[in-house]
Amino acid sequence: MTRAEQRERTRTTLIAVARRLFAGHGYAAVGLAEIVRESGVTKGALYHHFDGKAELFRAVLEEVQQDVAARGAAAADAEPDAWAQLKAGCAAFMTAGADPEVQRIMLIDGPAVLGWSEWRAIDEAASARHLAEALNALIEDGTIAPQPVAPLTHLLSGAMNEAVLWLARSARPGDLEDTLAALSRLLDSLR
């Protein structure tokens, strides 16, 4: 194994271990010593890749955001037309957001640890970008009325983020299905 491959493997291991620990215990309850110990690396190796715990968390958050965006994109790509793609991508986001790991890292600890502005920039680079692209395509093909895309993107993104936070507190098994049905009706009202 080359040094570059070894460095990448160490970085990947640190992110994977930190992701598991942050998801299971929350950012505040996890110390660097625990991450280092469970990763099987030295503290120096961690600091070679990250300035500290917050920067490691940012890498974890970016990975979670990319995973969620990829799930949404894959669901959308499986559909035959732009409208079905929007609905499938939004439903996939909601389903992914119902995962306790995603909720903890992306929606609870993300804004608290990094601050709203930095968290929002990461969100916009991942999921919100795909949503804006889908809405632009639907406006261009006449499926939805011409309108400014930025406010619509923020409204829909905010509604979906709030819904998955609500799902995190919900104990009723049918709430995800009810939320997906409500989202479908909300999106249909745009058409």
Q: What is the mean pLDDT of the chain?
A: 93
User: Is residue 90 a contact partner of residue 160, using CB atoms and an 8 Å limit?
Assistant: yes
**Quick one: which H or E segment has residue 152?**
helix 149-169
pTM above threshold 0.85: yes
Please identify which residue in the block is written with the tokens 């903890």. 104
Distance CA 163, CA 98 (A): 9
Task: Please report which confidence band the pLDDT of residue 169 belongs to, taking 50, 70 and 90 as the band edges.
Answer: confident
Q: Which amino acid is at 70?
A: A
Distance CA 139, CA 145 (A): 6
Q: What is the pLDDT of residue 74?
A: 95
Q: What is the pLDDT of residue 168?
A: 82
pLDDT in tens, 143-160: 999 999 999 999 999 999
Distance CA 3, CA 142 (A): 53
pLDDT in tens, 69-114: 899 999 999 999 999 999 999 999 999 988 989 999 998 999 999 9
Q: Which amino acid is at 22?
A: F
Classify residue 29 by its DSSP letter.
G
Burial status of residue 155 (CB atoms within 10 A of its CB: 0-12, 13-18, 19 or more):
exposed
